Amino acid sequence: MTPTARYESYRDALADVPKPCALVDLDRMAHNARLVRDYSGGARVRLGSKSLRCAGVMRRLLDSHDAFEGLLCFTAAEATWLSRGGFDDLLVAYPTWDRGQIEAVAAAVNEGARITLMADAPEHLERYAEVARRLGAALPVCLDLDMGTRHLGLHFGAQRTTLREPGDVLALCARVADDPNLTLDAVSYTHLTLPTIYSV
């Protein structure tokens, strides 16, 4: 089907539907999901909630194939909301500083939710640990590493974290290991623009 014909089919299908509205072409979604699985080369794929923005679509994709596993959430508040909706294996994409959101994650973890907080600085770990101690929780954390390269004074890669030096990474790992209220769940690294996450 040509793009023009596809547009016309959408237009006709929505002719009598009140606007604004949203439409998901399930056939195209399934096709895109197959492409993502092919590109992954057999690796598990974590869905990004920041891009999908629809719990029903995320659930459908997670249920469609075992290659899709877990969600990369935009915020900690979103992760706790999704956990209440039955989603599991939730990784917060960015470090969280808001104490109320950290408390909500700690409470959800105490109730059995699997939510992992991102960190790339000692201050993040201190804040997570302080809240976790107070609520009697053990918070899983993921360390976000910068694996970009630098040539001729230019940085090639996404500058989403300042965690670049091996010594700094090891120091954060030791900080987590020494705290009974934190657990090292994964490491994430970004090379160019593609984030990769490894469980530990």
pTM: 0.87
- Would 89 be classed as within a structural domain? yes
Rounded-to-integer distance, Cα 52 and Cα 23, Å: 13
Comparison of pLDDT for 145 and 182, the residue scoring more: 182
Structure tokens that stand for 150 in this block: 């630098």
- Would 31 be classed as within a structural domain? no
User: For residue 25, what pLDDT is reported?
Assistant: 95
Range of the domain at 151: 74-199
- Would 188 be classed as within a structural domain? yes
Report the pLDDT averaged over residues 131-144. Answer: 97
Which of 63-67, 82-86, 127-131, 168-172 shows the lowest mean pLDDT across its residues?
Answer: 168-172
- Would 37 be classed as within a structural domain? no
Residue 54's pLDDT band (cuts 50, 70, 90): very high
- Would 16 be classed as within a structural domain? no
Q: How does DSSP classify residue 149?
A: E
Report the pLDDT averaged over residues 100-111. Answer: 98
User: For residue 153, what pLDDT is reported?
Assistant: 73
**Coil, strand or helix at 46:** strand
Residue count (the chain):
200
- Would 52 be classed as within a structural domain? no
- Would 51 be classed as within a structural domain? no
Number of domains the chain contains: 1
The CATH number of whichever domain residue 80 belongs to comes to: 3.20.20.10
Own/partner contacts of 109-112, CB < 8 Å, gap of 24 or more, are 109/137, 109/138, 109/139, 109/140, 110/135, 110/136, 110/137
- For 7-31, write each residue's pLDDT tens digit: 999 999 999 999 999 999 999 999 9
- For 144-161, write each residue's pLDDT tens digit: 987 666 767 775 666 667
Report the pLDDT averaged over residues 30-47. Answer: 94
